[in-house]
Amino acid sequence: MARKRLSMRKIKDVLRLKAGGLSQRAIARSCLIGKETVREYLTRAAEAGISWPLPEGLGDEELERRLFPLELKDFRKATEPDWSKVHQELRKKGVTRQLLWKEYREGDLGGYGYSQFCERLNRWAKELVPVLRIVHKAGEKMFVDYAGMTVPYADRITGESREAQIFVAALGASSATYAEAQASQELANWIGGHVHAFEYFEGVVEVLVPDNAKVGVTSACFYEPELNPTYQALAEHYGTAVLPTRVKAPRDKAKVETAVKVVEQRILAPLRHRQFFSVEEINEALRPGLEELNTRVMPHLGKSRRQLFEELDRPALRPLPLRPFEMAEWKWARVGVDYHVGYGKHYYSVPYWYIHKEVEIRATAQTVEVFLKGERIASHVRNDTPHDYTTLPEHRPESHRAYLEWNPERFIRWAERTGPLTAEMVQRIMERRQHPEHGYRAVLGLMRLGSRYGQERLEAACARALGFDLISFRGVRNILAAGLDRVKSEEPSSRPEKPHANLRGSRYYS
């Protein structure tokens, strides 16, 4: 029958209660089993000549053999599957235990039933390294993390001692491993490690599984972890997804933790006595050990990581895109009143109607792009000249009076109320810019200094800054912060008491 077999203890209870005179219905209620089940086991006991009390010395195994002679006979004739091969096949896409059991029974009609097949497979898997109990599909996941062990090296020029970080990536199905040394765990190195790992494996997995490190995951939420925008852009470029490990769920990252441990023991530890002078030297030393690690036969599976990679992961990996991912940094910024945003101490223009809007900046080695709600509103060739401006003519308004509250005339009027030297500082700041609006930020800064320190001190600071030709917001700010505006100058100022005729004056900007 297809009915699940009862335990020997419950079968004994059936025989004992029957000998006590209970009906089959009463026995079924007492043992919490069906009446048909009671009838079946009483019939089997009668056919085997067994009654209660049981003969002395009759153990559970012998009792089972007498009650189920045909089933045990078929059971003992079953051939043992190659569990290592079954486990390996189970990693392939679309392969299920049901399918493997059917294929097994086609070769052995008297083999194990499905439940016994699964139970014995589980029993075999428990004897492996615990990480192998989780079945990873071919080409599905790549686990990434940094090793806890670092490699020291000395700078050739300064002699300064530094620690190289070790980036590790491991594929889920084959455990094929990649490792490289990096100068730090900063975002550029984190992204570069992924790009190099994809190139090493010559393909892309469906899912990336990082730990919840801040470099990749800005918010480690259990339900909706927030990714670093650059990391998300990497995933989109390669057509993969990022699935961070759950917080406080060590089994999620067991694969890479095992890979990290193996890398530390078999690659890094043998290098502990060597002296290195650069990250490049360390990577040269890592390559032979990495190749040996991937080609070494794993005793519990009888195959190397390289063999499993060729059989499982490589056929399932997605192809690499035509070009590798270009590292880009993202940051939030607010468009200033001068319709520019700052990145790397340089300022880039956006269309003037986006003033005060919060935007995202995407910067690569060649370009700086500005996005508003996912739409690109400006693009510039990158310029790393500090405190300078890159402005496109089409971004400038036709008339600042029509569209902007801020204008040179207003700034000069404010400066004149503070004092003539403050007005001269404002005028000269604007004179030194290609366009007057490029000086708005500096003048706004002077206005804030006036609110903080008072108009008298600001006037005195501007006087001192003009005397030393410090025509900048920073120069005035530093004088006020150090209190130098209160220190009487030892040398008499050579500046005229009244503004000379060559100064533009507020009417110039009207």
**Predicted confidence (pLDDT) per residue in 252-269, tens digit:** 566 778 888 889 888 888
Residue 91 inside a domain? The answer is yes
Task: Please tell me the predicted confidence (pLDDT) of residue 73.
Answer: 44
- Look at 23-27, 87-91, 126-130, 146-150 and tell me which has the smallest mean pLDDT: 126-130
Q: Say whether pLDDT at 221 is over 70.
A: no
Domain end marker among 397, 427, 443: 397
Same domain, 120 and 185: no
Q: Say whether pLDDT at 228 is over 60.
A: yes
Evaluated on CA atoms 367, 369, 375, 377, the torsion sign reads negative
Same domain, 352 and 441: no
Task: Please tell me the predicted confidence (pLDDT) of residue 251.
Answer: 53
Share of the chain above pLDDT 70, in %: 82
Same domain, 462 and 415: yes
Structure tokens at 206: 């469906």
Confidence label for 498 from pLDDT (cuts 50, 70 and 90): very low
Task: Please tell me the predicted confidence (pLDDT) of residue 496.
Answer: 46
- Our CA angle for 410, 411, 417, nearest 5°, is 95
Task: Please tell me the predicted confidence (pLDDT) of residue 510.
Answer: 47
Cα gap 36→363, rounded to integer Å:
76
Residue 155 inside a domain? The answer is yes
Residue 356 inside a domain? The answer is yes
- Look at 31-35, 284-288, 373-377 and tell me which has the smallest mean pLDDT: 31-35
Confidence label for 335 from pLDDT (cuts 50, 70 and 90): very high
Confidence label for 61 from pLDDT (cuts 50, 70 and 90): confident
Residue 348 inside a domain? The answer is yes
Same domain, 226 and 374: no
Q: Say whether pLDDT at 330 is over 60.
A: yes
CATH of the domain at 170: 3.30.420.10
Q: How many domains does the chain have?
A: 5
Task: Please tell me the predicted confidence (pLDDT) of residue 232.
Answer: 83
**pLDDT, tens digit (0-9, with 9 covering 90-100), for 62-75:** 887 787 775 544 44
Share of the chain above pLDDT 90, in %: 29
Same domain, 90 and 64: no
Q: Say whether pLDDT at 492 is over 50.
A: no
Q: Which residue type does 84 have?
A: S
Task: Please tell me the predicted confidence (pLDDT) of residue 321.
Answer: 92
Task: Please tell me the predicted confidence (pLDDT) of residue 477.
Answer: 93
Domain end marker among 76, 93, 114: 76
What is the reported pTM? 0.50
Same domain, 106 and 199: no
CATH of the domain at 21: 1.10.10
Same domain, 301 and 188: yes
What is the DSSP-derived secondary structure letter of residue 266? Answer: I
Residue 132 inside a domain? The answer is no
- Look at 204-213, 344-353, 360-369, 396-405 and tell me which has the smallest mean pLDDT: 396-405
| Three-state helix/strand/coil letters over 87-127 | HHHCCCCCCCHHHHHHHHHHHCCCCCCHHHHHHHHHHHHHC
**pLDDT, tens digit (0-9, with 9 covering 90-100), for 188-216:** 899 999 999 999 999 999 888 887 665 55
C-beta of residue 158 within 8 angstroms of C-beta of residue 142: no
Same domain, 213 and 89: no
Cα gap 89→70, rounded to integer Å:
32
- Burial label for 305, CB within 10 Å (0-12, 13-18, 19+), is buried
Confidence label for 289 from pLDDT (cuts 50, 70 and 90): very high
Same domain, 299 and 380: no
Same domain, 390 and 419: no
Residue 135 inside a domain? The answer is no
Same domain, 292 and 248: yes
Domain that includes residue 236, residue range: 141-316
Residue 136 inside a domain? The answer is no
Confidence label for 480 from pLDDT (cuts 50, 70 and 90): very high
C-beta of residue 192 within 8 angstroms of C-beta of residue 327: yes
Residue 154 inside a domain? The answer is yes
Q: Say whether pLDDT at 285 is over 70.
A: yes
Same domain, 393 and 426: no
Q: What is the DSSP string of 462-486?
A: HHHHHHTT--SHHHHHHHHHHTGGG
Task: Please tell me the predicted confidence (pLDDT) of residue 212.
Answer: 61
Q: Which residue type does 406 have?
A: W
Domain end marker among 76, 97, 116: 76
Task: Please tell me the predicted confidence (pLDDT) of residue 329.
Answer: 83
Task: Please tell me the predicted confidence (pLDDT) of residue 225.
Answer: 47
Mean pLDDT, rounded, for 32-60: 83
